[in-house]
Chains A and B, each alone.
Chain A
């Protein structure tokens, strides 16, 4: 559904979220959806701009649960979606001339959008829910002191494993364990493969050398026979295979873990000795949009309570609205977000953005791995 990145500031946000978890309104209920939104006051779109938006999204995020507050506040606005399936694909669509007014991608890719002049600065005075976003998250969306991005969804990446077949997992290297041949599943993504290998071998992710990249390539080629399949969709590919017992060990986001946990499946989500990974989703407004006011309203309503609560309760993703995260009390969500583990942040990795050269080299490496 989406791609993880590794923000530096997410740790601070998590701390704030956890600290607030003891008080505030309740959010939870496992798979139950949140109630419909209260009327929300937002600035109306400018009279001279179209009352329509095209959103470049990840498949699944077009569900109305993910933008219900905007729908309530702007019932006449026409919202349509264009889809990408990786951050690279979404960036390619924008660079290729997508007409999208709003674009959604993940940490690690911010600089490319600003450098290419694809997005415009956010006028946060138009966002009525902006004060609910912790400062650390706001900083994730800034480049050179300017707010280009609105943080929204976030979560962890770690090892999801079947406790009936796999002993307690303590390292990312379980993905390479021959004991689980045919029951392993890695995400179909080159940068993720480089990240995992860097964790295991202690490489500096920001400066992976050519020799190290060659070793990483060999390592993943050797891992290929152990892998059942490379998953692309968290809920379409990975979760069903975890639940039917095909996959015992997987590189996974916490959404699939929470889904399996809520289903009563025998699963656990590791805190590897090398540390978990964390990612944050960002929204931006196209530099060429004809509907800047409506685009701002859309992003503002993404941060509204009902929409954020839906992301948490229906899809098990964290959300940048601190009030919503503070209200979590459902045991499944508490477990999924590690809220009951005060040391979780000490073992979480937040890596910096990748460069264009790294992106090209790492993705090409991954295609060669798959072709072998």
Chain B
């Protein structure tokens, strides 16, 4: 008979095994590939010795490093916008929606019933020269010809990804707000705090761990994005992830692609660690 601790460990085995097989092992494989020399596909049984050649090539190519920086900046902007937009939605669901909150929450999640690709393609249509936005601007007489900047640009990538992430970003903030003890708000009100003060001094600080978690939940996968940029970004909106994809597919150069992926992973983790420290997440969640 397993004890409580033994039962918990036993229940964790499938998830642990899953992570080891499909997260840890692939990560190790990528790390191993990044240490191989050459520029082609590497036969698994080919003899080799570890080398930092690929890292040297990637770090020594200014275009790659510049694009990595741009991608990190784009991810920061996208994560910031998604978190800011998700915050009032979560606030409404928690404090204003009342008994209809479950209904609104369900409506918020409706987009997830549609394929990610279809949602991005919808934006491609909307941002296109004959799309809804340009048609509206033309109909209102605000422009004489379709605005080309809307599609195949960096702003198009940012707009689309913010749209994609907002419903997802709402959930952790909503969960954090639901955990707020209403007695805190009532106490603040009893002590004479006006609504804005209760919001800034009580609601926001108590929701901050959820907001910071949301920010990084959006930031981390966005740094390596390649699907959305390839659909709506055009030549101008290419991100670092597109180059990694290119090395794995177009160029069939797995070692360089792996080194690029490892460098991105290291940088992303660094940003997260710095962000968590600056945000004081540990203190807030303690």
A→B interface (CB under 8 Å): 84-86, 88-89, 91-92, 95-97, 182, 188-190, 224-225, 227-230, 232, 244-246, 356, 359-360, 363-364, 366-368, 370-372
Top 3 A-B pairs ranked by shortest CB distance? A363-B251, A92-B252, A229-B234
CB <8 Å contact, B235 and A363: no
Q: Which of B61, B66, B234, B243 has the most CB of A within 10 A?
A: B234
Determine how close the nearest CB of chain A comes to the CB of B27; give it in whole angstroms: 18
Binds A, one of B2-10, B35-43, B191-199: B35-43
Determine how close the nearest CB of chain A comes to the CB of B240; give it in whole angstroms: 8
B→A interface (CB under 8 Å): 39-41, 43-44, 61, 63-64, 66-67, 128-130, 148, 151-152, 230, 233-236, 238, 240, 242-243, 246-254, 256
Contacting residues, chain B, for A364 (C-beta < 8 A): 39, 251, 253, 256
If A88-B249, A224-B235, A363-B250 touch, whether A371 touches B129 (CB-CB below 8 Å) is no
Contacting residues, chain A, for B238 (C-beta < 8 A): 370-371
CB <8 Å contact, B235 and A228: yes
Q: A97–B41 Cα gap in the complex (Å)?
A: 11
Q: A229–B157 Cα gap in the complex (Å)?
A: 13
Q: A342–B243 Cα gap in the complex (Å)?
A: 43
CB <8 Å contact, A85 and B249: yes
- Besides A246-B128, A363-B252, 11 other A-B contacts (C-beta < 8 A): A182-B148, A225-B236, A230-B235, A359-B252, A360-B39, A360-B253, A364-B39, A366-B246, A370-B243, A371-B61, A372-B63
If A363-B251, A366-B250, A371-B67 touch, whether A228 touches B234 (CB-CB below 8 Å) is yes
Q: A229–B242 Cα gap in the complex (Å)?
A: 13
CB <8 Å contact, A190 and B44: no
Q: Give the contacting residue for B250; candidates A188, A228, A229, A244; CB below 8 A.
A: A188
Contacting residues, chain A, for B148 (C-beta < 8 A): 182
Contacting residues, chain B, for A228 (C-beta < 8 A): 152, 234-235
Q: A189–B151 Cα gap in the complex (Å)?
A: 22
CB <8 Å contact, A88 and B250: yes
CB <8 Å contact, B61 and A368: yes
Determine how close the nearest CB of chain B comes to the CB of A221; give it in whole angstroms: 8
Q: A308–B242 Cα gap in the complex (Å)?
A: 35
CB <8 Å contact, A97 and B44: yes
CB <8 Å contact, B243 and A367: yes
Q: Considering only CB atoms, which chain A residue lies closest to B232 in the complex? A: A229
Q: Considering only CB atoms, which chain B residue lies closest to A226 in the complex? A: B235
Q: Considering only CB atoms, which chain A residue lies closest to B63 in the complex? A: A371
Contacting residues, chain B, for A189 (C-beta < 8 A): 250
Contacting residues, chain B, for A88 (C-beta < 8 A): 249-252
Q: Considering only CB atoms, which chain A residue lies closest to B244 in the complex? A: A367
Contacting residues, chain A, for B43 (C-beta < 8 A): 95
Q: A117–B249 Cα gap in the complex (Å)?
A: 21
Determine how close the nearest CB of chain A comes to the CB of B243; give it in whole angstroms: 5
Contacting residues, chain B, for A370 (C-beta < 8 A): 235, 238, 242-243, 246
Q: Considering only CB atoms, which chain B residue lies closest to A232 in the complex? A: B230
Q: A227–B252 Cα gap in the complex (Å)?
A: 24
Q: A84–B64 Cα gap in the complex (Å)?
A: 25
CB <8 Å contact, B243 and A371: yes
Determine how close the nearest CB of chain A comes to the CB of B124; give it in whole angstroms: 9
Q: Considering only CB atoms, which chain B residue lies closest to A188 in the complex? A: B250
Q: Give the contacting residue for B152; candidates A229, A368, A371; CB below 8 A.
A: A229
CB <8 Å contact, B250 and A360: no
Q: A27–B230 Cα gap in the complex (Å)?
A: 37
CB <8 Å contact, B64 and A371: yes
Contacting residues, chain A, for B252 (C-beta < 8 A): 86, 88-89, 91-92, 359, 363
CB <8 Å contact, B254 and A92: yes
CB <8 Å contact, A360 and B40: yes
Interface pairs (22), CB distance under 8 Å: A86-B249, A95-B40, A97-B44, A182-B148, A190-B251, A225-B236, A228-B234, A229-B234, A230-B235, A244-B129, A244-B130, A245-B130, A246-B151, A363-B246, A363-B250, A363-B253, A367-B251, A370-B235, A370-B242, A370-B243, A371-B66, A371-B243
